Amino acid sequence: MMSGKTSKTRSTTQSQLRPGATVAASPSRDSPPCEGPIVSQAASKADIDSLKSELLCSLRSEIIEVFKSELRALERTLGNDLLTIKSELQAVKAQLSSDKAANEAAVRELKGTVAEMERSLSVCTDDIAVMQRDKLETKCEDLETRSWHNNVRIICVPEGPNSSTTANVAVLLKEALSLEKEPLLDRSHRTLQPVPKPGERPRAIVARFHYHSECLDVLRHAKELQRIQFKGLNISIFPDHTVKTAKARAAFNEVRRQLRGIEEENEKALDPYRSTTCQFKKVLEGIPQTRPKSDPRPPAEYELPWEWKKEQIVRVLSEAEAQLHNCKEASFLVRAGESATSKYSIALKSSQGCVHIIVAQTKECGYTLDQSSCVFSSIPEVVHNYCTQRLPFTGAEHMTLQHPVPRTH
């Protein structure tokens, strides 16, 4: 493009120079011959200078136009790019703002959760510490109580030299309780109290038996005699208990006094498994008081109208106990019941012996072990439930039906 303009300029210049040359040449006719070369050189120099200036101006204007057009195009391109970048930045800013709000809400929620967990953890830690302390106290109390099982406490024995030695205490127990032989004692001593002054009550003697059976025998004799006379003195013998156990027994004294006159309730209190055993009064309730037609014996051979049933019950119970005799604890046997109100019963081997549990049948033909327990539609459901759930009886609440024993025919 520039070369085209330059050639045009040259042609224009040449067209402009030609008349000038003609004009300059025409006076040369009238001018003297010596002035012609000087005038032509000056005119050529002026034309060259004007050509240079025109070329520079033309180039300058063209370059300016080119730069302006390029700048305008660049401005348009940059403007579009800047608008795109601006919109993208605004979108990113909006997203960051929403993310920031969500993060702040999540952080606040986490802080609240952490604070709540800290409070709960603090409470749980305190509870666990208390439970561990109580468990440790209970275990220590139990160990201490077990270590005192062979101990007895003898009260009102006068103070004196060698009055609490094992030999003298053994002789005292033998003579005071009329025992066949002197019990074997591991040790005996006075309670850890200051020596009483004259006229004050003597300290108790704590004696430990080597054999637990002898300890129980001495306590049984002391309970039967109640007031023990020995060389003109009234002495008392009691089991040696820890402070906590003694307080618990003292709190039960009033209840024991009220139950002492009730023979049946007293027997249940002494034997926690009595309520789950097959008692004749419970089993024979509702049984007809007449001899069945299938029994060939005459009525004169029976002491009671229901003696036939009692003999059958004793026989069945003996067979169940004999079958469970060599089985391990928690073994059980399901057998046909001998009560008119129950078709089934369960014999259970426990540490106390054989426990006979009556499976009562409801009016809706359901089965239950207790009035307060669940009712099941079949005996397998009863067994399946109490294989995982503990039995609903006081004294047997720690036991479940674990080892089934097949019934022999």
Q: What is the pLDDT of residue 378?
A: 78
The span from the CA of 325 to the CA of 349, in Å, is 8
CB atoms within 10 A of CB 102: 10
Closest CA to 215 of 233, 231, 237: 237
Question: How far, CA to CA in Å, does 34 sit from each of 21, 23, 53, 354?
Answer: 17, 18, 31, 166
Residue indicated by tokens 């006719």: 29
At residue 307, the 3 state secondary structure works out as helix
pLDDT of residue 373: 66
pLDDT in tens, 251-287: 877 777 777 766 554 444 444 434 333 443 444 444 4
Direct distance between the N- and C-terminal alpha carbons of the chain, in angstroms, rounded to an integer: 127
Q: What's the half-sphere exposure (Cβ side, CA atoms, 13 Å) at 237?
A: 26
> What phi, psi does 85 have (nearest 5°)?
-65, -40
Residue 354: the pLDDT is 75
pLDDT beneath 70, residues of the chain: 1-37, 39, 261-318, 336-343, 352, 370-373, 393-397, 407-409
Residues 170 and 183: beta-carbon distance below 8 Å: yes
d(C-alpha 383, C-alpha 348), whole Å: 12
Q: Are strands 151-155 and 228-230 parallel, antiparallel or unpaired?
A: unpaired
How far is it, in rounded angstroms, from Cα 25 to Cα 29? 7
Q: What distance lies between CA 210 and its chain's CA centroid?
A: 44
**Rounded CA gap, 49 and 88, in Å?**
58
Residue type, position 87, single letter: S
**Sheet containing strand 151-155, strands side by side:** 185-190, 205-209, 151-155, 233-239, 228-230
Of 396, 314, 330, residue with least CA distance to 322: 314
Quick one: how far is CA 321 from the chain centroid? 40
pLDDT digits (tens, 9 = 90+) for 358-378: 777 777 777 777 655 677 777
Q: What is the pTM of this model?
A: 0.39
Confidence at residue 297, expressed as pLDDT on a 0 to 100 scale? 53
Helix (H, G, I), strand (E, B) or coil at 142: helix
